[in-house]
Amino acid sequence: MKKLFISLLLFVFFSVQSFAQANLKAIDAYINKAQKDWNVPGLAVAIVKDGKVVHAKGYGVKELGKADKVDEHTLFAIASNSKAFVSSAIGTLVDQGKLNWKDKVKSHLPYFELYDHYASEEATVEDLLCHRLGLGTYSGDAIWYKSTFSAEEVVRRIKYVPQAYGFRDGYGYSNLMFITAGEVIKSVTGKTWAEYVDQTFIQPLGMSRTITSTNDLLAKGNYATPHKAVRNENIVVDWVNWDNMGAAGGIISSVSDMAKWMNFQLVNGKIGNEQVLEYNTQANLWTPHNSYLVTESQKQNRPGVNFRGYGLGWAVSDYHGRRVIAHGGGYDGMYSRVLMVPEENLGIVVLTNGMRGISGTITDFVVDKYLGLEEINYSEEALKNMSYPMYDRIDAIKAKHVPNTQPSLSLDDYVGTFYTPMYGDIHIKKGSNGLLLEFEDAPLLMASLTHWHYDTFEIKWDVEHAWFDFGTVQFEFDQSRNITGIKIDVPNNDIFFHELELKKVESK
């Protein structure tokens, strides 16, 4: 009987081992196929389980048309996955007694202002980290995007961003509030958010390839090239410096390094024997502070999910009775995702050099494999429903183009300076071949203007931009046919030029 019992134990042990190995092979095959099916030039994936890195691998190439392969050490922008580093950094300052979650933001940044006095006075440090302060999703991002404004200058302009919903009465994903959180860290510590995060997490965890600025890419080497997605086509775009919004999305890392970050989170904030982030503090980061509706269709598409919300720098939900702690990231030409299931001591990170939603289909597949659930080909299902809403909007605008019209004024009459408090000055100038569009504080947004129809001109950007391309400038007039302002319409889902209410302040 004893021999039979031992034999059964050995059978179960080797069956589990074989299943785990088969699991990883199936995952690897799935990722390989998905990378090709989604037409993503390159990506890397790491999986940690029970404190160990069980998978860390690159797929595809660093740059379309070149032979260099992605590996587990290749650098990608993790974009908004940086937010968890910043919220965790603030958590350590709470643990040290240097600030409190309920501190008023203005007690650390007296110049901080929102759309009204009450919101400005009552906003807390905690509020900054959970997207509930009344600003719309991505609203105001046009202030920092490719601009020369410092982080402090960006924060000083937030008061001009329009209110979208009631104070603490909704959800609007706000990069501006995390930029503000970075400035709070600087105020409290005397160090930039990047310096503090580097000294507190990156160096102690041995994340030796992780950097906080594109300025350090060349020195590190082995980095991927960003690619814009234009329907089924990939177009190489330049790396863009995000230093002025770095606290919201500036970290650049590899899956090998991010595996260390996930393991730090999964052991409840310990590095070696040191408790860097207290247990209750991390629990607060992982507690929903801003819940949002899970619709019936969402439940059908993802059975096992009953609630969703945002903690502090992390999205929080459930899945078949387990907590899921996750976040996505979107940078110019790169998407990423981090997902952890603490009860399973499981973490997955996906970094890509393309702008297609492949990362969620990988993390979901991996989680199901480890939970022993029925296999669903999330990649295949998502590809069936692939859409290109931005380009559909552009097509709709182009379909209404009226040919054979003429501008009502001479080109010289359109020249002038146009101002909005949120942003500053934008100039329309006369060039050798027509009109020019010039953002005074964002020289990377230079463009020429060609006549579209009537008093509307098409924007021809000097360089390729990842988040947008086609756009128009429409001139506005008073009853005497004097130009009073311009409206910039650039269809996209992230950088809202239409928020800039530009009024003419100077002729020629």
* Residue where the block lists tokens 């959180």: 181
Let me know if residue 4 belongs to a domain. Answer: no
Let me know if residue 255 belongs to a domain. Answer: yes
Contacts of 267 (CB under 8 A, 6+ apart): 51
Let me know if residue 136 belongs to a domain. Answer: yes
Q: 445 and 321 share a domain?
A: no
Q: 403 and 380 share a domain?
A: no
**What does the pLDDT read at residue 10?**
45
Listed in order, strand segments (DSSP E) in 17-103 are 42-49, 52-60, 76-77
**What does the pLDDT read at residue 294?**
86
**What does the pLDDT read at residue 23?**
87
Let me know if residue 122 belongs to a domain. Answer: yes
Q: 333 and 420 share a domain?
A: no
Mean pLDDT of each 10-residue bin along the chain, 508 residues long: 47 41 83 97 98 97 98 98 98 98 98 98 98 98 98 98 97 98 98 98 98 98 97 96 98 98 96 96 97 86 89 97 97 98 97 97 96 93 91 95 96 97 96 96 97 98 97 97 97 96 82
Residue 502, beta-bridge partner list: 486
d(C-alpha 448, C-alpha 483), whole Å: 19
Q: 294 and 315 share a domain?
A: yes
Q: What is the CATH number for 176?
A: 3.40.710.10
Convert the pLDDT of each residue in 43-79 to its tens digit: 999 999 999 999 999 999 999 999 999 999 999 999 9
**What does the pLDDT read at residue 1?**
47
Q: 433 and 363 share a domain?
A: no
Q: What is the CATH number for 468?
A: 2.40.128.600
Q: 466 and 349 share a domain?
A: no
Burial of 183 (0-12, 13-18, 19+ CB in 10 A): buried
Let me know if residue 82 belongs to a domain. Answer: yes
Q: 290 and 428 share a domain?
A: no
Contact yes or no for 156/118 (Cβ under 8 A): no
| N-to-C CA span, the chain | 98
Let me know if residue 350 belongs to a domain. Answer: yes
**Which of 362, 386, 410 marks a domain boundary?**
386
Q: Is this model's pTM higher than 0.85 or not?
A: yes
Q: 199 and 119 share a domain?
A: yes
Residues in the chain: 508
Q: How many domains does the chain have?
A: 2
d(C-alpha 499, C-alpha 496), whole Å: 6
**Which of 386, 403, 435 marks a domain boundary?**
386
**What does the pLDDT read at residue 296?**
86
- Per the structure, the complete domain to which residue 370 belongs is given by 13-386
**Which of 386, 411, 446 marks a domain boundary?**
386
Q: 374 and 419 share a domain?
A: no
Q: 432 and 340 share a domain?
A: no
Q: 357 and 402 share a domain?
A: no
Convert the pLDDT of each residue in 159-200 to its tens digit: 999 999 999 999 999 999 999 999 999 999 999 999 999 999
Q: 36 and 130 share a domain?
A: yes
**What does the pLDDT read at residue 17?**
41
**What does the pLDDT read at residue 507?**
58
